[in-house]
């Protein structure tokens, strides 16, 4: 066997491996690009092989490798061979792995038989590169198969409930309730938080902690979120007074290119002034977004909409990030309020959050206020507003109207 033939076989083996890379692992790499990487390794060792193969070893190695690539790529584009390769690739995992590993090992046997043991030693660097490529393909293939399996499990588990969630709001199963936020100094209702609740036919309620993440996973959150936002703005705009409404927003909604225009359109259609709309974003959800998460918030803030940081204290609580955050309100997480007034640590943290928020010009709202003792403590540290069952549970808009007109 000539050196040209041997190198051509190396090229063919590398092409097979690169096709597996393309099919099972790195979709963005074509066979040609993957082979150029292997080709670079081959050319790098070609000079070392000149002593055994002669003066033409370097161009032969490069030309043979790239020639093998071109031949296989060309043949693979012909319909009959493409079908054969497709059948090979769609076989069992064991056959695919054998194909990947057998090609370099077969070359070892051929080189040893035709050129002797010394040639095998000389060619080992290239063969090793091919074997390493095969192992990498196998590992990436395993990872992708595991991820696909996990996604299938999630998808399978989500499917029944996701099917029910789709358009549940248009069927009247999802409703928007409003929980009042009470001004600590005056005791009056100054704002409300819009809360989506899902009651399935037959009386089974699905918790927001279940259906909101489900909507995010299944791509329904944008439609659901816009419906909640439109409903809240419309309901509050029809009520007397200057009540504000807070609506929770998912980072997925913020990333949607049409979200800012949707907010602008909803405000215009409902007639609610922008300054009476508060969009709440959870601290722990927004922090990983980095600067990309700040840009849409800044654009929304420019409309005149108020921005609130929800569940503050449970996430990263980065003071430098908070300083750049275009927020007007800070909501203290209920986990701190629950421990008041007896827990000294919770009291110290709550007091510090209130002081810090005020120093940044923010309005501070305490979530989960359930006892008079908690309310007294919060009032004593100059917390601006409280929200919780001490004041009122979430109410339908009709009951809210009666409450604010009392």
- Which residues, 6+ apart, have CB-to-CB distance to 138 below 8 Å? 97, 100
Query: CA of 347: how far to CAs of 153, 314, 332, 374, 387, in Å?
Result: 43, 15, 12, 10, 17
DSSP state of 333: -
Write down the pLDDT at residue 402: 82
For residue 283, what are the CA distances in angstroms to 66, 89, 100, 159, 348? 53, 46, 47, 29, 20
293 contacts 321 by C-beta, under 8 angstroms: no
Give the pLDDT confidence score for residue 41 in this predicted structure: 45
State in words which class domain 169-404 has.
Answer: alpha beta
Q: What φ, ψ does residue 309 adopt, rounded to 5°?
A: -95, 120
- Confidence (pLDDT) at 327: 87
**Terminal CA-to-CA distance of the chain, rounded, Å?**
99
**94 vs 77: CA distance, rounded Å:** 25
For 349-390, the DSSP string reads HHHHHHHHHHHTT-EEEEE---SHHHHHHHHHTT--EEESTT
Neighbours of 172 (CB within 10 A): 9
In contact, 369 and 391? CB cutoff 8 Å: yes
| The predicted structure's pLDDT at residue 404 | 80
341 preceded by a cis bond (ω within 30 of 0) = yes
- SS3 of 53-113: the string is HCCCHHHHHHHHHHHHHHHHHHHHCCHHHHHHHHHHHCCCHHHHHHHHHHHHHHHHHHHHH
Would you kindly state where each structural domain of the chain is located, as residue ranges?
Answer: 3-158, 169-404
What is the helix (H) or strand (E) element at residue 191, kind and residue range? strand 189-199
Please give the helix or strand (H or E) that residue 179 lies within, else none.
Answer: strand 174-183
- Size of the chain in residues: 406
List, run by run, the mean pLDDT of 10-residue segments along the chain (406 residues): 52 49 40 43 46 44 43 39 40 51 58 61 60 54 53 61 88 94 93 94 86 90 95 95 94 90 96 96 66 80 93 63 80 91 90 90 95 97 96 94 78
Identify which of 187, 179, 236 has the alpha carbon closest to the alpha carbon of residue 384: 187
Three-state SS at 277: strand
């Amino acid at each position: 066997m000539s050196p040209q033939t041997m190198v051509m076989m190396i090229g063919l083996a590398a092409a097979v491996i690169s096709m597996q890379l393309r099919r099972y692992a790195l979709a963005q790499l074509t066979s040609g690009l993957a082979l150029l990487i292997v080709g670079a390794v081959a050319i790098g060792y070609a000079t070392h092989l000149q002593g055994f193969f002669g003066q033409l070893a370097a161009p032969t190695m490069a030309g043979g490798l790239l020639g093998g690539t071109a031949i296989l790529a060309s043949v693979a584009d012909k319909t009959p061979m493409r079908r054969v390769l497709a059948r090979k690739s769609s076989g069992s995992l064991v056959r695919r792995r054998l194909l990947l590993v057998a090609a370099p090992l077969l070359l070892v046997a051929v080189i040893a038989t035709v050129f002797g043991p010394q040639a095998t030693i000389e060619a080992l660097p290239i063969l090793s590169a091919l074997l390493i490529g095969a192992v990498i393909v196998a590992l990436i293939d395993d990872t992708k198969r595991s991820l696909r399996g996990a996604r299938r499990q999630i998808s399978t588990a989500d499917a029944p409930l996701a099917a029910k969630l789709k358009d549940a709001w248009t069927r009247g199963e999802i409703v928007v309730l409003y929980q009042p936020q009470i001004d600590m100094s005056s005791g009056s209702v100054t704002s409300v938080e819009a809360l989506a609740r899902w009651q399935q036919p037959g009386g089974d309620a699905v918790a927001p902690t279940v259906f909101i993440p489900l909507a995010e996973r299944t791509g329904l959150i944008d439609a659901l979120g816009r419906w909640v936002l439109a409903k809240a703005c419309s309901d509050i705009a029809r009520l007397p007074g200057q009540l504000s409404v807070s609506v929770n927003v998912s980072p997925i909604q913020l990333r949607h290119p049409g979200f800012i225009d949707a907010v602008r359109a909803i405000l215009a259609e409902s007639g609610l002034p922008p300054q009476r709309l508060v969009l709440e974003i959870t601290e722990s959800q927004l922090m990983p977004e980095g600067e990309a998460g700040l840009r849409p918030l800044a654009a929304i803030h420019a409309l005149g909409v108020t921005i609130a940081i929800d569940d503050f204290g449970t996430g990263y609580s980065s003071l430098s990030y908070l300083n750049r955050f275009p927020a007007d309100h800070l909501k203290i997480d209920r986990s701190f309020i629950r421990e008041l007034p007896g827990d000294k640590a919770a009291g110290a943290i709550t007091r510090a959050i209130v002081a810090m928020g005020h120093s940044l010009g923010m309005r501070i709202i305490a979530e989960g206020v359930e006892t008079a003792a908690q309310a007294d403590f919060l009032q004593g540290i100059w917390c601006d507003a409280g929200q919780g069952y001490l004041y009122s549970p979430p109410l339908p808009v009709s009951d809210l109207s009666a409450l604010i007109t009392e």
